[in-house]
Structure 1
Amino acid sequence: MSLLPYSLVFALNANGVTSRIHAARGESFDPWPVVKLFNPVGAATWIATEFAEDGDTLFGLADLGFGCPELGYFSLREIRSVRLPFGLVIERDLYFDPLGPLSTWTDEARRYGSIVAAERVMRRRKSDRLLPDPPPSPEGDRENEGS
């Protein structure tokens, strides 16, 4: 499996260009994350929104498992070079759902102490919004009949 297939590289580059355009205009830019990378045997997790001009440096939220996720830049080359026990490497979350803009991820990850905890909370909120209201209970209707 490719850590970053072409479609994700394209999206990261597009966000990088858009970010630089907004910065040149003095405007803010709050993109949704494009990719989530993680250590399959540890706590390190990264979500990235864009590539810098060098094509290696990613911008996003980094969580090394110390309870203080940070916004900043990290090297894709360094992430690719990490060798873990049992021949494992850093992986891409194939089922990653961006769930919201980077500012929301940052706020939630700092509030809950990790990207993973923030993701759980954000998924729960999303599923709560997608659930329809339950139908009225027939028992509840009978209670009001005599009024």
Structure 2
Amino acid sequence: MIEIERKFLVKSDDYKSVASSKTRIVQGFLNTDPNRTVRVRIKGELGFITVKGKSNTSGTSRFEWEKEISVEDAENLLKLCEKGILDKYRYEVPIGNHVYEVDEFYDENEGLTVAEIELNHENESFDKPAWLGIEVTGEVKYYNSQLSKTPFNLW
């Protein structure tokens, strides 16, 4: 499956008042090679393993495969991950015909809040709420795999 998404910084916490859900996510990376990342995640009460391919030149599209696994398996795999486990809360925020996933990071990435929107095609139009800041799609330092290696507080 091809994932098409755009990523933005968030300039206020106004999204919280219109969020439909809030979920804690703990995730790590078994592999952070830019050609293929392998992520392990506990999202609320569910576990997942995800493989992502290399992004296209604009950074908007890449192959993604995800499989639900038990939380126990995810906890065990997290112990094998590379240094830099991420801890964040994800807010799902419906805006127009889309849902923004807003990630508020903690620990070494505290102070960073990023919104992503998944699209059906790269040129699809979407509503931009007032709390949305500058676009950082394709900026590698904002990839979760890179935040695990070089956290926001070290920039």
TM over 0.5: no
TM-score category (smaller protein): 0.3 to 0.5
TM-score, with normalisation over the residues of structure 1?
0.32
TM-score, with normalisation over the residues of structure 2?
0.31
Higher relative CO (CA 8 A, sep ≥ 6), structure 1 or 2? Answer: 2
